[in-house]
């Protein structure tokens, strides 16, 4: 494939030290690399660290005998774009499940609830690279989405499914006037906001792979409720349980 490093088999990529075969066919991707380490060490069997390049920790182990990798994506579309592209295109990954946090754009999505991105809207120019004569609206893989929602119901987990606003700007730091930023996306039905799902879904579509973005609501823009920094790393267990149901 065009762009693959000539020495990939022995040295990986400039962004990932894993060698060919070090990464499982499914990768769970939190934004925070420390969250990746926490869940790899506490939930996988035989987890081993396969990359630490740029502090973006990656681990591979097994769950119920099946191989699983967990790797941080970093924040924003450019970071997710690089890591997910390389995983899909070079490491032969077939499924990426984003297990992130999101901001709630409606009071109905409470802190601790799970949100599933059926589709992703964005203010990002990420899809401009495809030269499409319009605006691309990427979606989740339906089979992954259906399985995740089914598992949520089995576990009795409060959840929401729909379109999310995947922004290039952290909504709470936006310089836009009140009512001119995330509020307009909320008016169009986007109940959650993140910064990575749009790029992930675009890469999956371009490369013919499967992706799903799910989030635990960590902050609510309407109510002002939020999790603290430690909880964001360690108290997202229900989301991780749902993601493990997607391991082939």
Q: For the chain, what are the domain ranges?
A: 9-244
**110 tagged catalytic:** no
For the ranges 42-56, 174-188, 233-247, the lowest mean pLDDT is seen at 174-188
1 band by pLDDT with thresholds 50, 70 and 90: very low
**pLDDT mean across residues, the chain:** 92
Residue 38 burial by Cβ neighbours in a 10 Å radius (0-12, 13-18, 19+): middle
Looking at 10-14, 137-141, 215-219, which range is the least confident one?
10-14
Residue 10's pLDDT is 66
Q: Which pLDDT score, from 0 to 100, does residue 179 have?
A: 63
Question: Is residue 95 predicted with pLDDT exceeding 60?
Answer: yes
Cα-Cα-Cα-Cα dihedral sign, residues 221, 226, 231, 236: negative
The tokens describing 186, both together, are 């909320």
Residue 29 has pLDDT above 70, yes or no: yes
The hierarchical CATH code for the domain 9-244 is 3.40.50.1580
Closest CA to 120 of 152, 55, 167: 167
For residue 190, the model assigns a pLDDT of 97
| Catalytic one of 141, 219, 228, 231 | 219
Per-residue pLDDT, averaged over 209-213, amounts to 98
């Amino acid at each position: 494939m065009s762009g693959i490093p000539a020495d990939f088999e022995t040295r990986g990529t400039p962004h990932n030290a894993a060698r060919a075969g070090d990464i499982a066919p499914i990768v769970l991707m939190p934004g925070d690399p420390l969250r990746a380490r926490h869940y790899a060490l506490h939930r996988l069997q035989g987890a081993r660290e396969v990359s630490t390049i740029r502090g973006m920790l990656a681990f591979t182990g097994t769950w119920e005998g099946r191989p699983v990798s967990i790797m941080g994506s970093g924040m924003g579309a450019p970071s997710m774009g690089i890591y997910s592209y390389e995983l899909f295109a070079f490491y032969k990954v077939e499924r990426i499940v984003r297990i992130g946090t999101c901001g709630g754009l409606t009071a109905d999505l409470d802190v601790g609830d799970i949100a599933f991105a059926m589709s992703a809207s964005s203010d990002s120019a990420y899809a401009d690279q495809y030269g499409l004569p319009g605006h691309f609206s990427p979606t989740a893989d339906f089979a992954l989405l259906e399985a995740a929602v089914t598992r949520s119901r089995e576990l009795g987990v409060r959840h929401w499914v729909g379109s999310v606003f995947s922004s290039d700007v952290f909504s709470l730091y936006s310089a836009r006037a009140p009512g001119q930023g995330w509020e307009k996306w909320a008016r169009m039905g986007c109940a959650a906001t993140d910064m990575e799902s749009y790029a992930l879904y675009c890469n999956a579509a371009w490369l013919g792979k499967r992706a799903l973005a799910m989030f635990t609501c960590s902050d609510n823009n309407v109510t002002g409720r939020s999790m603290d920094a430690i909880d964001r790393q360690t108290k997202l267990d229900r989301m991780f349980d749902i993601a493990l149901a997607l391991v082939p």
